[in-house]
Homo-oligomer: A and B are copies of this chain.
Amino acid sequence: MKNWLVEQLQRMNLSDVLVRPQGFTREGYTSEETEAIEVFKTIAEELGLEASEDAAGNAIARWNVSGGQAAVAMGSHLDTVPNGGAFDGGAGVVCGLGALKMLKEADFEPQRPIEVICFRSEESSRFGVSTIGSKAMSGLLDPSIGTLEDQHGVTLAQAAESQGFVWQELLNAKRPKEQLKCFVELHIEQGMHIVNHEKDYGVVKGVACPIRLAVTFNGKAGHTGTTPMDQRKDALAAAAPFISFVQETALQVNDAYGNGKSLVATVSTLTVSPNSMNVIPQTVTAGVDIRSVDDRLKMKMADAIRSEAKRIEETTGVAIDIEVLVDNPSVLLDDGIARQLVDAGDHEAYLAHRMDSGAGHDVMNMAQTWPSGLLFIPCKDGLSHHPDEFAAAEDLKMGVELLSRFLMEATANAGNS
């Protein structure tokens, strides 16, 4: 099974290795993504599954059974960030296929259909919007985002059309609730919690979605040599305590709440204008990324940031504007599914770590309609979105065993969906 998983993952990465110096660049709605998805469909057919594609370009590999029961679905994606790794997305796709292979080889007879879904365009790197395929399938797609452009001026609608899809028809990818019973995504952790807690895999309780702010400090330019210190409105000097505040407050919140309910907050971008050695900074814009599974904690942090901005504005005379770029509520996953994923580990003698996800995934959208779960396998050094991203074949195999066990339970009867 380990060799089969590595080989199929290489095929879907259009490569004969899984780590290479420049990583993998396979962005959403490109011919590279389409090519990878074609390989996925080929492998599905080799396994005796029915391969199809919906109006958004999501590919579905289905183990059909007679009758109209709701299917148990798994899935992830095959697009990558630029110079990303072979496992972010791909691990979930290959483990889903591997689980069906294992069940077929064991002559297991599911009482309801099973699907592996390969979603389109999960990463936000190309158009600034993530999880487009799963948004379409869950009925969460806002068609107005078709006008978003990539860095070459190609719109999302044009990109989809370049791969054979009609933008307005993407809405048709929405699936009726009764078609699926539940959904499970397997993904690499992109962090170190599992290893740090000396566990084997992760079962996710909630997915933290960000509040993102653009905070602009409006100072006044002047000659660095001739403007006295006490007559300045230096936008960068005003931004500095703000940056420190975000860092220190996030640390304090985590100390106060402990590991169970954590929050991360980062000033991740900063642009200075005019950014010239002999001119006092006139304008600084800071991008703040706040995440927690607990939405109240995120909002409390955003409120604290607003108060601190007000304090800095009053003490420095530098006017501060705050724009909310993103404010998505976090997603709590289904407790019943999570219990089944933990039970699957008990059965296979793997230790589960119950945890939250700091990053977003396709399962966020699926969870709006169907009971959903998210299973993490470890990745080396917690590294992801990086050419060195890696997950051991041993851990991929564990993923297959966990999914198989979960599927055996979830498809054991054809009762009400």
Tell me if B224 and A191 are in contact (CB < 8 A): no
Nearest CB in chain B: distance from A372 CB, A = 19
Nearest CB in chain B: distance from A197 CB, A = 12
Tell me if B291 and A224 are in contact (CB < 8 A): yes
**CB of A360 within 8 A of chain B?**
yes
Question: Given contacts A221-B386, A237-B243, A279-B385, could you give 9 more A-B pairs where the C-beta distance is less than 8 Å?
Answer: A192-B231, A208-B225, A227-B382, A229-B247, A229-B262, A234-B266, A267-B281, A268-B276, A277-B289
**CB of A76 within 8 A of chain B?**
no
Tell me if B237 and A240 are in contact (CB < 8 A): no
The total of chain A residues at the interface (CB under 8 A) is 61
Tell me if A277 and B269 are in contact (CB < 8 A): yes
**CB of A254 within 8 A of chain B?**
yes
Could you say which residues of chain B place their CB within 8 Å of the CB of A276?
A: 268-269
In the assembled complex, 21 residue pairs joining A and B whose CB atoms fall closer than 8 Å, in A order, are: A124-B278, A190-B223, A208-B225, A221-B386, A223-B358, A224-B266, A225-B264, A225-B289, A226-B358, A226-B382, A229-B262, A229-B264, A230-B251, A236-B267, A240-B241, A240-B247, A266-B280, A269-B276, A269-B277, A270-B270, A271-B275
How distant is the Cα of A210 from the Cα of B279 in the complex, in angstroms?
Answer: 13
Residue of B nearest to A208 (CB): B225
Tell me if B247 and A243 are in contact (CB < 8 A): no
Partner of A241, one of B225, B244, B271, B280: B244
Could you say which residues of chain B place their CB within 8 Å of the CB of A359?
A: 223, 225-226
Could you say which residues of chain B place their CB within 8 Å of the CB of A189?
A: 226
**CB of A212 within 8 A of chain B?**
yes
Partner of A269, one of B212, B231, B272, B289: B272
**CB of A48 within 8 A of chain B?**
no
Tell me if A278 and B268 are in contact (CB < 8 A): yes
How distant is the Cα of A234 from the Cα of B226 in the complex, in angstroms?
Answer: 33
Contact with B along A14-50 (1 / 0, CB 8 A): 0000000000000000000000000000000000000
Chain A 195-210 residues near chain B, CB threshold 8 A:
208, 210
**CB of A287 within 8 A of chain B?**
yes
